[in-house]
Every structure is written in C-alpha cells, then in structure tokens.
C-alpha cells in the first residue's frame, strides 16, 4: 500500500489531470483498485469548486498532517455494537443537528444535546429492555448537499450555503473558502474533546439536569403515560444509587459515538488512515479507516452506484449508513450492498430509510423484500425527518409536523414486525435547545409559534420536548 502522503499526492495529480469528459475511461481503468483517492476518477455529485486551488491544496496537506479525530479501535467497538443492533439485540439512536455551525461549539449547546440523547436513550432502554447505541450527528456534521447550487437572496442569484466547512451563511461569504476545512477539523475535535470530558466526568455530573418536568403536556392521557415511565425510571435510577451501582463503570463510561454525512470527499480522504490490529492486544480488520468520525453516511443525493461517493465508501472499514429515499430502486440494493459490504459483515451497513409518512407503507415492504433476496445483513433505521418537510403557510418557513414524523416511525415499526425484520434504530434531527422549528408534539406548537425561536440554518429540528415525545412514544409501543 502507498503511504498516505503518496496516495494523497497521487490524488492531487488525478484531481488536476482529469477533465469531466475523461472520467468514464478513468473510471474503467481504476475499476478494481481502491485507494483513498480512487473516488476522484468517478463522476461526482455536489462537487465543490474552489477558486483558490493553491489554498485548497494547502488546507488538505494540513489536514493530512493533523492527528486522527477518532481511533480505529473505537470505530471497531462501534462496529461490534452495531452487529448487536443488526441481530436485534440492541437499538440505535442517532441524532443531532441537520447542519452544525462552528458557533454551536459551546459548552451549553453540547451539554444540552448530549443530555437529551442520554435522556432519550434511558427512555428507550426502559421501553425496549435492550441496550441503546448512541451516535450523535455531531463533531463534524457541517457539509450539506443542496438541491440547487445557487439561490436568490434579495433579488440576486448567489451560491447556496453549503455548510460552515465550505462557505458562510452570510451572502457576502458564499465563495468556498479552503481555510474553513481546517476550522472544521478544530471545531470537530474540540466538540468531541468536550463530549469526552463530560462523559468521563460521569453523566450524573452533566450541567443540564434531566428535565422530567411534564407540565408542558397538554393532553392528560399523554401526561399520565409519560408519568408512568418517568416514575419507573427514576425509581430504578434511585435504586441503583442506593446500592452504589450508579458509579459503576457501566454508567460512568457511557459510550457515545460521532457521525456525519461523508459529503466532501477531499476532507474525508485526508482522514483516511491505514491501521492494523496488534495481535493479542486488539481485534478488528486491517485496512483503511476514516478517522474523522466513527460512522459516516452517504446522502440520498450522492448514492449513485457508479459515483464517487460509493467508490470512496467501499474502501473504508467504518460502519456506514446509506440514505434510502423513495427513488431508490429495488434492483439497486444487491449491487450497492455487494460493493460496500462484500464480506457481508453484520453491522457494517445501516440503511437509513426516509420516505415520508405518505409513502412508507407503499415502498418499505418492497425494499425489505428486495434486501432479503440479496442475503445481506443490514440494520434498518428509520429517518422520519427528511421525507416529511413542508413549508409553513404564510411565513414559508421550512417545518415538519410531529404527527407525520411519529406516523412514519409507527408505520416502519408495524411493517418491520409484519415482515419479520427488526427496526434497529431511528435517525433524528434534534437539538437540546428550546427552538420552535417543528410543529406539534406534547407542547402543542402550531405554525403560528414557529417564529418564536426559529434558529436552524438548514432543516427544522425537534426541540428537547418533541424529541422526548418520540422516545416516550416508541418506548410505549414496546411496553404495550
Ligand atoms: C440529512 O440527513 O441532513 C440529509 C440531507 O438527508 P438526505 O440525504 O436523506 O436527504
Ligand atoms: Mn437534514
């Protein structure tokens, strides 16, 4: 294998020497070889063009020289937990912002998000009687795929906001700026460092105390249901405290993993590092690891079988996600899964389905059958957010209805049960802050409330109460 620096230099050569029309032949020529840079010979969607190429190359060289953010041994630990999810022995909770901004890297915002995910996982553990694997959309979830490369702002057509690691939200900052890649690294590492610090100190020590106050709940039946769960949970926790089990390592060392969409492949390539286990010390596969996060996923817009993203993802050892939208064809599953998971490892691939509450019933059963025929083990995860976006009448604000989100999850649960497959997890856009971006939930937010605290720069997120609503409702489904 080429040392990374050589592979990267090769990459730089490929990058500048291939024009678009030369790509098909290049793709054929490199069909059987994978390298961290081999994606560069494939057609790419959502490409970012940097006007300042010299500064771009300099930023990438800097990234290559920086230490990894997460270690392959952690990645392998997650992979083995995901094997349990795949086999129906654990549940996967993945959540966080649609798009992180560098400004979200503050103690209070990270605390709020971590506390919320931990609290949700407690509720889910209680309901499912199974361990919950927690993955944040955090510490690197910056780059965003866009439906259009430009947008009209104040009557002027300007480049779309592509995420804080590429350009700025302010209309004056829309030119891709290479130094943002390096800033993304430092914000990711700082965020993860703070998460590790917090969890290392013991989760009972989190600033944001678990907020079980249920006074916001409008419906008395819902309130009574939640109250039952909370009483059972607080009882168990205080029992553990009494016997001293709350300080046991299992509660202190809560596992928490990071993830983001692997969209900007130059960035991902820079963190693709070769690693081999030491016999007798640790396990795992020798190979290339993406060390920018434990888990990365391919978006619904970049999952073309012959495309650059699938090419990059097929060579890394990390567990990966693939977004599956309504346009995913049944006949594509076999080829895609063969490409990214040739060893058919359970826990390697999570299919993140996101159809919308009005389409899930007609599409998911066929997709389940199609995957069954491939013989590939997959984790089925429901993303009830991305198929349920609508614009709010009057303001035009992008929003999502809690009832649609819950309806897609409950449909997925029902369909998997009928098909004899395991819905292994949920994938949510949420924040621990008290935002008003989604409508509905036990607090009864309406379209008219959206402007109260609408903060997102990308998709609307569940606030703390709405996210807990989801956890309580799933928990309740399993307790029944
Ligand atoms: C996302 O997860 O924020 C996203 C863009 O999703 P999808 O690729 O499913 O549209
Ligand atoms: Mn989103």
Grade residue 199 by pLDDT with cuts at 50, 70 and 90.
confident
| Tens digits of residue pLDDT in 364-397 | 999 999 999 999 999 999 999 999 999 999 999 9
DSSP state letter for 22: G
The encoded tokens of residue 261 equal: 């969409």
The encoded tokens of residue 254 equal: 């809560």
- The CA R_g of the chain, rounded to the nearest whole Å, is 22
326 lines ligand 1 (CB under 6 A): no
Residue pair 438/401 in contact (Cβ under 8 Å)? The answer is: yes
Q: Which residue has the higher pLDDT, 295 or 253?
A: 295
Write down the pLDDT at residue 22: 41
> Ligand 2 centroid to 461 CA: how many Å?
8
| Tens digits of residue pLDDT in 336-362 | 999 999 999 999 999 999 999 999 999
Residue pair 239/146 in contact (Cβ under 8 Å)? The answer is: no
Question: Structure pTM?
Answer: 0.92
DSSP secondary structure, 149-188, as one string: SEEEETTEEEEPP--TTTS-SSGGG-S--THHHHHHHHHH
Task: Determine the atom of ligand 1 nearest the C-alpha atom of 458.
Answer: 3
> Ligand 1 centroid to 234 CA: how many Å?
35
Q: Show Cβ contacts of residue 22 under 8 Å, excluding neighbours closer than 6 positions.
A: none
Q: Angle CA(66)–CA(34)–CA(25) in degrees, nearest 5?
A: 120
98 lines ligand 1 (CB under 6 A): yes
Write down the pLDDT at residue 123: 92
Grade residue 7 by pLDDT with cuts at 50, 70 and 90.
very low
461 lines ligand 1 (CB under 6 A): no
Write down the pLDDT at residue 233: 84
- Write out the residues surrounding ion ligand 2, Cβ under 5 A: 98, 459
Judged against a pLDDT cut of 70, whether residue 3 lies above it is answered with: no
- The CA–CA distances, whole Å, from 343 to 303, 318, 429 equal 20, 13, 31
> Ligand 1 centroid to 140 CA: how many Å?
15
100 lines ligand 1 (CB under 6 A): no
Coil, helix or strand at residue 321: strand
Structure-token match 């480049």, residue found = 159
Give the Cα separation of 255 and 70 in Å (integer): 13
145 lines ligand 1 (CB under 6 A): yes
For the ranges 10-19, 126-135, 232-241, the lowest mean pLDDT is seen at 10-19
User: What is the SS3 assignment for 455-472?
Assistant: CCCCCCCECHHHHHHHHH
Q: What is the mean pLDDT of residues 113-134?
A: 93
Grade residue 249 by pLDDT with cuts at 50, 70 and 90.
low
DSSP H stretches of helix in 257-386: 265-270, 308-314, 332-340, 360-374
Choose which residue among 313, 323, 389 to substitute to test ligand 1 binding: the one with the highest number of ligand atoms within 8 A of its C-beta: 323
Identify the nearest ligand to the CA of 309 by its number.
1
Give the Cα separation of 302 and 404 in Å (integer): 25
> Ligand 2 centroid to 98 CA: how many Å?
4
Neighbouring C-beta atoms of residue 278, cutoff 10 Å: 9
In degrees and rounded to multiples of 5, residue 459 shows phi and psi of -85, 155
Strands (E), 229-268: 257-261
Identify the nearest ligand to the CA of 143 by its number.
1
Judged against a pLDDT cut of 90, whether residue 201 lies above it is answered with: no
| Tens digits of residue pLDDT in 22-33 | 434 444 544 569
Write down the pLDDT at residue 18: 34
């Amino acid at each position: 294998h080429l040392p990374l620096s050589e592979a990267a230099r090769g990459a730089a050569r490929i990058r500048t020497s291939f024009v678009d029309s030369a790509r098909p032949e290049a793709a054929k020529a490199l069909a059987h070889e994978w390298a961290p840079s081999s994606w560069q010979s494939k057609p790419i969607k959502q490409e970012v063009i940097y006007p300042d190429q010299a500064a771009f190359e300099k930023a990438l060289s800097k990234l290559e020289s920086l230490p990894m953010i997460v270690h392959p041994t952690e990645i392998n630990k997650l992979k083995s937990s995901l094997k349990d999810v795949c086999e129906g022995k654990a549940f996967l909770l993945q959540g966080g912002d649609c798009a992180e901004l560098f400004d979200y890297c503050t103690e209070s915002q990270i605390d709020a998000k971590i506390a919320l995910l931990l609290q949700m996982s407690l509720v889910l553990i209680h309901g499912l009687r199974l361990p919950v694997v927690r993955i944040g959309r955090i510490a690197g979830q910056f780059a965003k795929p866009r439906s259009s490369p430009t947008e009209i702002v104040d009557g002027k057509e300007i480049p779309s906001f592509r995420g804080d690691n590429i350009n700025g939200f302010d209309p004056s900052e829309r030119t891709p700026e290479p130094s943002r890649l390096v800033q993304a690294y430092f914000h990711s590492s700082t965020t993860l460092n703070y998460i590790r610090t917090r969890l290392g100190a013991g989760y009972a020590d989190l600033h944001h105390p678990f907020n079980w106050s249920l006074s916001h709940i409008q419906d008395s039946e819902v309130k009574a249901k939640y109250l039952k769960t909370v009483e059972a949970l607080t009882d168990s926790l205080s029992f553990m405290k009494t016997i001293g089990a709350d300080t046991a390592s299992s509660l202190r060392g809560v596992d928490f993993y990071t993830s983001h969409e692997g969209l900007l492949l130059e960035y991902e390539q820079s963190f693709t590092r070769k690693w081999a286990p030491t016999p007798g010390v640790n396990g795992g596969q020798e190979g290339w690891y993406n060390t920018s996060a434990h888990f990365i996923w391919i978006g619904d817009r970049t999952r073309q079988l012959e495309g650059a993203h699938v090419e990059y993802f097929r060579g890394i050892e990390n567990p990966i996600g693939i977004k599956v939208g309504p346009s995913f064809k049944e006949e594509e599953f076999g080829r895609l899964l063969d490409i990214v998971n040739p060893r058919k490892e359970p826990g390697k691939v999570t299919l993140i389905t996101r159809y919308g509450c009005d389409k899930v019933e007609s599409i998911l059963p066929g997709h389940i059958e199609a995957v069954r025929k491939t013989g590939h083990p997959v984790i089925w995860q429901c993303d009830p957010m991305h198929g349920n976006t609508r614009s709010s009448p009057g303001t035009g604000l992008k929003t999502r209805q809690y009832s649609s989100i819950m309806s897609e999850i409950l449909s997925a649960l029902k369909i998997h049960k009928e098909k004899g497959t395991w819905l292994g997890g949920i994938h949510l856009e949420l924040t621990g802050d008290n935002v008003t971006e989604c409508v509905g939930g036990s607090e009864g937010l309406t379209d008219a409330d959206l402007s109260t605290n609408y903060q997102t720069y990308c998709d609307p997120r569940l606030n703390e109460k709405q996210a807990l609503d989801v956890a309580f409702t799933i928990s309740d489904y399993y307790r029944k």
